[in-house]
Structure 1
């Protein structure tokens, strides 16, 4: 049985409402710290993904494994990286 994927679309008004709630809960002085922390977290995820990809490639080359197999993994990783960039880009534009 295949899982159904429901895309998550958030409008500008919903983002503004979420930002308003964040501002009310944490205060104006904490929002830049939260955004900075989110940015650092996203960077760590990106770095970890690149490290894993490098290690997989190195191991495959040492073991003589056909790199066509790892190309599929690389494509999936690139897709995730692009999705993360899209989300991070929209967050950066809002702050």
Structure 2
């Protein structure tokens, strides 16, 4: 998976979290903090930046509905969300 071009303008923390999610798959914010060794505030900021770039998907974490599960958006999901493009 090739990193999107919008990642070039992101802070280093967002790039690190992108790589953590790319390598480890869907994670809660708590697990991202543990894996990246960044502060919770830095992780929240980086997740917001990745979400603005529309390369992040947030889902309900069914084991604990108070938490969210974060993962990278797949290229098929990106295409399906573009206006005028129908999903196959």
Q: Same fold (TM over 0.5)?
A: no
Task: Flag the structure with more relative contact order, 1 or 2, with Cα contacts below 8 A and sequence separation at least 6.
Answer: 2
- Structure with higher strand content: 2
**Structure 1 length as normaliser, TM-score?**
0.25
Greater share of residues in helix: 1
